[in-house]
């Protein structure tokens, strides 16, 4: 491109633009939801005996209302990218003009619903610091319009993706993925109508019968194989729809994550806006040496969190990302002189686990007396749950600790599943010192450090150390010291 073409391109970028005409598809759905009360009321009157003769007129009027509302919304929504930032105009009777400075943009999310994929269109939402909701939401954007909003930094398709196998496993041990996983499972069940499961069950039964196994054992094995195969299929679909490929790009200005094949999603966080990191390694992920790395970015939004998770990461990947944030590598964190909680805290926790096991035993006994479950089933359930609670307690006591190194708090905690939280103390916006009756008796304090998007809690530390940490945070944020709170209990520092 010649230098003569640059001013023309810049001038074209600052012209007001309108989304694609296909944006009417989601706008029609939005209009139906907006006028839902009017539509239901009009439908009821139109089909009642008294007004049945006017039904065609009523239906026509409702259709015109929905289509007209969507069309006006599309027609009156304009945007442009200027030297001042991103500008948006919308509204017919009540006009609105929004200006979002580029320096204030904290998050930009890009989605490509399945109905937009053949059209190569996108939906974009922008969020800024100090807001309670997203300022911009534009749907039906073309690739050129998307590139205009995103700027120069985009995730290149040449950036390698995390391997499919690791992301596929991540659907099992990441709780935030269980809800879409259930959605995929329900969709598969509704489409198959149980026929595939029955067919797989019958085929497995025939194969095992030919092998000479007994009938009852054959049925159990066939049922287990059928369910296992269905779970595998659902996990594969879930991975392709929402998660794979997973491409991550980092530069000096921002972090960007692109996920999904059918439902693409792009998330951004400014590099300087990363407030804390969470490393998650549930017990199943520990068997494979995998991690999930969660970036918590700055936002005040109640509807959208500037937070995204890198799934299926290896220890080398984790070390690379931590060092890029100018933090200690995971291997170095584990070598720190971590301070452990006092034994009194774990004695109390063991008592609480014991009471929970006792209540669980009473609950199982009630189910057995009510003939809801068999005695053998109840005993197995009780022992499995009790052993899990005790093993999780043992793992928590064995593998935990915290340390403040170079004004950064490193916390290792969990149980059978391990978690590392890394919090630069300069990002702390509020400190809570909580001291219950038990803690006062043992001169302990629970300290909770809160940021704009996440928190870290030290479960039980001595009073004097809690006061020192509180003073350390105040020194790092002198301009907002009055905003730091010590709440929920008197601190007895005898």
The 10s digit of each residue's pLDDT in 433-452 is 888 888 888 889 999 998 87
- Measured CA distances, 452 to 428, 430, 441, 449, 474 (Å): 8, 9, 33, 10, 17
Q: Which fold has domain 401-483?
A: PH-domain like (2.30.29)
Helices (H), 174-214: 178-192, 195-210
Q: What are phi and psi of 173, to 5 degrees?
A: -110, 10
pLDDT at site 235: 81
Half-sphere exposure of 138 (CA within 13 A, CB side): 32
pLDDT tens digit sequence for 21-67: 777 778 877 777 777 777 777 766 666 666 666 667 777 777 888 78
pLDDT band at 3, cuts 50/70/90? very low
Domain segments of the chain as ranges: 164-243, 343-398, 401-483
Average pLDDT over the chain reads 77
pLDDT at site 423: 92
pLDDT tens digit sequence for 288-298: 889 999 988 86
Whole-number Å distance between alpha carbons of 32 and 38: 9
Bond before 34 cis per omega within 30 degrees: no
User: pTM here?
Assistant: 0.64
- Which distant-in-sequence residues (6+ apart) come within 8 Å of 98 by Cβ? 87, 88, 89, 135, 136
Pairing of strands 274-281, 136-141: unpaired
Whole-number Å distance between alpha carbons of 461 and 33: 51
Whole-number Å distance between alpha carbons of 195 and 175: 29
Q: Look at residue 465 and give its three-state secondary structure.
A: helix
């Amino acid at each position: 491109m010649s230098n003569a073409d640059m001013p023309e391109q810049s001038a074209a970028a600052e012209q007001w633009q309108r989304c694609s005409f296909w944006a009417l598809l989601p706008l029609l759905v939005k209009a139906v939801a907006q006028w839902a009360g009017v539509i239901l009321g009009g439908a009821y009157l139109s089909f009642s005996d008294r007004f049945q003769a006017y039904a065609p007129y009523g239906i026509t009027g409702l259709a015109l209302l929905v289509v007209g509302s969507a069309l006006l919304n599309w027609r009156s929504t304009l945007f442009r990218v200027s030297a001042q930032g991103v500008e948006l105009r919308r509204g017919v009777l009540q006009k609105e003009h929004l200006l979002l400075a580029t320096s204030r943009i904290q998050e930009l999310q890009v989605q490509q619903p399945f109905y937009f994929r053949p059209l190569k269109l996108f939906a974009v939402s922008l969020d800024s610091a100090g807001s309670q909701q997203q300022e911009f939401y534009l749907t039906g954007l073309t690739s050129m319009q998307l590139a205009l909003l995103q700027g120069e930094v985009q995730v290149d398709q040449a950036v390698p993706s995390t391997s499919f196998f690791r992301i596929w496993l991540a659907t099992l041990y990441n709780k935030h993925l269980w809800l879409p996983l259930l959605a995929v499972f329900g969709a598969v069940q509704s489409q198959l109508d149980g026929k595939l499961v029955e067919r797989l069950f019958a085929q497995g039964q025939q194969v095992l019968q030919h092998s000479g196994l007994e009938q009852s054992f054959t049925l159990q094995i066939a049922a287990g194989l059928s369910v296992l195969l269905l779970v595998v299929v659902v996990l594969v679909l879930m991975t392709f729809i929402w998660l794979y490929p997973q491409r991550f790009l980092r530069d000096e200005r921002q972090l960007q994550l692109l996920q999904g094949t059918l439902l693409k999603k792009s998330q951004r966080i400014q590099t300087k806006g990363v407030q804390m990191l969470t490393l998650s390694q549930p017990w199943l992920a520990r068997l494979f040496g995998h991690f999930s790395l969660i970036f918590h970015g700055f936002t005040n939004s109640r509807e959208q969190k500037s937070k995204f998770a890198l799934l299926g990461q290896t220890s080398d990947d984790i070390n690379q990302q931590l060092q890029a944030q100018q933090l200690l590598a995971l291997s170095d964190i584990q070598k720190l002189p971590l301070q452990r909680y006092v034994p009194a805290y774990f004695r109390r926790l063991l008592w609480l686990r014991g009471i929970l096991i006792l209540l669980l035993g009473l609950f199982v006994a009630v189910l057995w007396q009510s003939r809801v479950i068999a005695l053998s089933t109840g005993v197995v359930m009780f022992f499995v749950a009790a052993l899990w609670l005790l093993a999780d307690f043992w793992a928590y006591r064995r593998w935990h600790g915290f340390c403040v190194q170079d004004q950064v708090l490193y916390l290792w905690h969990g149980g059978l599943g391990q978690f590392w939280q890394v919090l630069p103390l300069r990002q702390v916006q509020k400190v809570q010192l909580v001291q219950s009756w038990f803690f006062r008796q043992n001169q302990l304090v629970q300290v909770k450090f809160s940021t704009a998007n996440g928190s870290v809690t030290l479960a039980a530390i001595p009073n004097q150390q809690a006061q020192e940490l509180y003073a350390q945070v105040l020194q790092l944020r002198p301009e907002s010291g009055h905003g730091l709170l010590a709440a929920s209990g008197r601190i007895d520092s005898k």
